[in-house]
Amino acid sequence: MHRTSWSRCRAAVATWVLTLPGLLWAVVVFEPGDGTRNSSAPTGTLANAGWQWTGRFNSFCGVPVGPSSFLTAAHVGGNIGDRFEWQGRRYRVVGFQTDSTSDLRLWHVSGQFASNAPVATQDLRVGELVMILGRGATRGAEILADRGLGPMLAGWEWGPVDGVLRWGTNSVEANIDGTSIGLYGPLVGCRFNGGRGNDEGCLSTMDSSGPLFVRRGNTWQLAGIHFAVQAAFNTQPTGAGGNGTIFDYRGLYQNEGGSWVLESIENDNPVPASFFSTRVQPRSAWLTTALATAPVGTTLETAVDPAGPFNAASSATHNPVDRFFLVPLQPTGAAFFRLRGVDGLRILQTRVEGTSIRIDYE
């Protein structure tokens, strides 16, 4: 059995051949077009299939999975103080928990999300339809393979990364232990073989951390976070080669253990590339524990003197989603306010709004 080298989605690692998650057009799909296909929310039977839960964390994707927590791939990095953008709002990151046995990382934010994605409570099954999303490379030039009958289309090179969110579909090929292919953690593998038609997608560079959703009943649930993709190819046995989205490796060279090995044209069936996402359900115990580490919510305190004592502003109303307090105006006297909660809290602005003072924070 051939062992294929892998690399993480964020960038091709020299010692690994496959690059981490990306899609044919950021998710690359079979249907030709101008690059705008599947760059808006899917409709029909694929409506609400995960697009609505997918936010932006730096250059990658993240998915809210708790009142104030979102999930990403650990290998894409990030720092406390970075911003997570979702549904038109920007949230300041205040903490994180990293899974020691998979490529998952849970981040905590200041404030709360209006809602969060349901997480799969049952593991993925072979043959199930999945929705994949990512912000990776666009489709580049055609990759042609010599199979004895002249050049034949085998896939597409990775084009520029534009950061646009795109979607595609695929089917579960297998659930595997990542150590069996040189990765780690519980993974789901999918192939780019066209079995799901023109909307079938694969991953490319910068698609790392994108989500994989599965439909259970009437609800689409988060089941995976993109980790790696088979992408390295060459048209000759020497040289640097390149990365692309390949639906049939026959007649091309694959990188195996640092050497270019020809995929025989004698194979009767196409040899498609595969991609892998970390399965979330097998790590549910870790996720539950990590969610419990989310910081306590923000509270507002008030005093009549800046030196205190400060007490809870019991008359204030709190909007944790848009992160502001409303405090009724006092007819006389001065009032001083302070926030209590996670490190780094700060008041952004105060203004009179009707009969109240509005205090915005982050």
Residue 171: pLDDT band by 50, 70, 90 thresholds?
A: very high
Is-contact 30 154, C-beta < 8 A?
Answer: no
Is pLDDT above 80 for 12?
Answer: no
62 and 78 Cβ atoms separated by less than 8 Å: no
Q: Kindly state the percentage of the chain with pLDDT values over 90.
A: 76
> Which two structure tokens, joined as six digits, stand for 228?
């790696």
Greatest CA separation for the chain = 90
pTM, rounded to two decimals: 0.90
In tens, the pLDDT along 96-113 reads 999 999 999 999 999 999
Structural domains of the chain sorted by starting position, each given as residue range(s) with its CATH number in brackets: 28-104+115-291 (2.40.10.10), 299-361 (no CATH)
Which tokens is 246 given?
A: 């390949």
Pick left, alpha or beta for residue 178 (phi over 0 → left; psi -120 to 50 → alpha; otherwise beta): alpha
pLDDT single digits (tens) 117-160: 999 999 999 999 999 999 988 888 999 999 888 899 999 999 88
What does the mean pLDDT of the chain come to? Answer: 89
CA distances from 250 to 29, 195, 236, 273 (A): 20, 18, 13, 11
Position of tokens 């998710």?
27
Residue 342: left (phi > 0), alpha (psi -120 to 50), or beta?
A: beta
Residue bearing the bigger pLDDT, 142 or 37: 142
What is the arithmetic mean of pLDDT over 24-47? 70
Which two tokens mark 265? Answer: 């044209």
pLDDT at 37: 76
- For range 300-320, the mean pLDDT: 95
Structure-block tokens of residue 174: 């297998």
DSSP 100: T
pLDDT digits (tens, 9 = 90+) for 239-252: 999 999 999 999 99
